[in-house]
Amino acid sequence: MGLAVLCAGLLVALVLLHLGWRRRYRELRQIHEQTVQRWARSHTEFVQEAQTRLTAVLNTLAEGILLLDEHHRVLLANPAFRSLFQPPAAPEGQPLLAALRWHELDELSRALSPEQPALTRELAWSGPPERWLRVSAAALFDAAGKRLHTILVFSDLTRLKQLERVRQEFVANVSHELRTPLSHIKGYVETLLTGAASDPALQQRCLQTIARNANRLELLIEDLLTLAELESGQVALQPRPISLPDFVGKILQDFQPRASARQIQLESQVPPLRVRADPLRLEQVLANLLDNAIKYGRQGGHVWVRARTSSDEWVEVAVADDGPGLPPEACERVFERFYRVDKARSREQGGTGLGLAIVKHIVQRHGGRVWVESQPGRGATFYFTLPSAPEPAVAVTESPAVAAAPSAASKVAGNGGLSGGDTRE
């Protein structure tokens, strides 16, 4: 009996222990599941956050990025890559060669090996659009030397290459322009040294040619220095209000003898407008345009200077002639340094090929625009815009008659000379 009670008690104790352990086990499992879930959630969040960050970096990079898998198929391409190789392709999933059809790039990527896991080359992409690119390629290999991933980074060198080409062309042009008058000078000096001294007529001709070419060299160097000064941006403009009709009138007076030599009539159609400009620079602009209009215009023809208000803040000035004008393709290029429609004619007229480039720089430094409109055989009109200057404030006086006539006061001539602006503001 006692044994039966002991056994029953033991059994009950065992059952209770079991139930206790089962509850504890459930609690522990629950805790474990919650921990696993929390860990999984934070891992997913971590991965998502890392992915968002990576995407943000790839999207903002100026360099094009291409990630390839072990079979040279594109895994990822960032927006900069797509904009480099317009029209934007969808290269993901395609083999590199099929995606771009660019053999040199494919060769560069395949040239990577465990011994040489990174390479950089400058490659030309035939376009469209045509580009120069620096491509840096790097590959990841496993311990057995099997390629896992390849990354290609594209930096656009097109702008740099273009600037380099412009610089080289400029140096070549300058050398050519300097060499021509210099070789003339040398040639005639030699003629003088080898006997022309005894022939006064020949001597005179030689000296005249030497003087003309020396002049040409001087003009060229002056224009080059002006351009360099303007391009450096180091020379500050000294803008002030200028009364346009007076300013134009005085320049036209200076050009009268040259115009008369070609029987060209100069006309000013400039209303009483005021611009805010550096007087010395504005004089250079008008002088270059008038010089061209007289030089390239029709003998016995007309040259006009016109002006109008183009908006509240801008005045548009035009210099027009009724000469042979310019072909359409030249209208786009005349403001380039050394561009000439007819090289021989320009040189014969003493042109340096830099006048319109100087005009463009000066106008742009004032914040304005410059352009040309022309139809071959029907003259050319060169336009430029300058900021308008406000009418001078009218002082309050005792006489109502004076106060009532502000615009008349503003129309009075302003500057005393070409290099002096209208100082009233």
Between 370 and 418, name the residue whose CB sits nearer to ligand ADP. Answer: 370
Q: Are 354 and 223 in contact (CB under 8 A)?
A: yes
109 near ligand ADP, rule: CB under 6 A: no
Distance CA 278, CA 285 (A): 11
> Which range binds ligand ADP by CB under 6 A, 96-104, 134-142, 236-244, 322-330?
322-330
352 near ligand ADP, rule: CB under 6 A: yes
294 near ligand ADP, rule: CB under 6 A: no
- 130: number of Cβ within 10 Å: 9
Cβ 271 to ligand ADP, closest distance in Å? 23
Strand 64-68, strand 74-77: pairing: antiparallel
Which amino acid, one-letter code, is at 78?
A: N
241 near ligand ADP, rule: CB under 6 A: no
188 near ligand ADP, rule: CB under 6 A: no
Distance CA 364, CA 372 (A): 15
410 near ligand ADP, rule: CB under 6 A: no
Cβ 268 to ligand ADP, closest distance in Å? 17
The percent helix, strand, coil of the chain (3-state, each to 5) is 50, 20, 30
221 near ligand ADP, rule: CB under 6 A: no
Name the nearest CA neighbour of 67 among 32, 92, 97: 92
Q: Choose which of 85, 154, 247, 296 interacts with ligand ADP (CB under 6 A).
A: 296
351 near ligand ADP, rule: CB under 6 A: yes
Q: Choose which of 139, 210, 293, 386 interacts with ligand ADP (CB under 6 A).
A: 293
Angle at 293 between CA 291 and CA 297, to 5 degrees: 130
Window 111 to 170, contacts with ligand ADP (CB under 6 A): none
284 near ligand ADP, rule: CB under 6 A: no
181 near ligand ADP, rule: CB under 6 A: no
Between 174 and 207, name the residue whose CB sits nearer to ligand ADP. Answer: 174
Cβ 297 to ligand ADP, closest distance in Å? 6
User: Can you tell me whether residue 78 is helix, strand or coil?
Assistant: coil
418 near ligand ADP, rule: CB under 6 A: no
> Which range binds ligand ADP by CB under 6 A, 196-204, 305-313, 335-343, 414-422?
335-343
Beta bridge mates, 309? 315
- For ligand ADP, what does the binding mask look like between residues 373 and 402, x meaning CB under 6 A? -------x----------------------
> Phi-psi category of 379—alpha, beta or left, where left has phi over 0 and alpha has psi -120 to 50?
left
Q: How far is CA 15 from CA 6, 10, 11, 12, 28, in A?
A: 14, 9, 6, 5, 20
Name the nearest CA neighbour of 123 among 147, 107, 140, 99: 107
Between 108 and 319, name the residue whose CB sits nearer to ligand ADP. Answer: 319
Name the nearest CA neighbour of 125 among 153, 97, 104, 95: 104
Q: Choose which of 150, 346, 385, 388 interacts with ligand ADP (CB under 6 A).
A: 346
Interface residues with ligand ADP (CB under 6 A)? 288, 292-293, 296, 321, 323, 325-326, 334, 339-342, 346, 351-357, 380
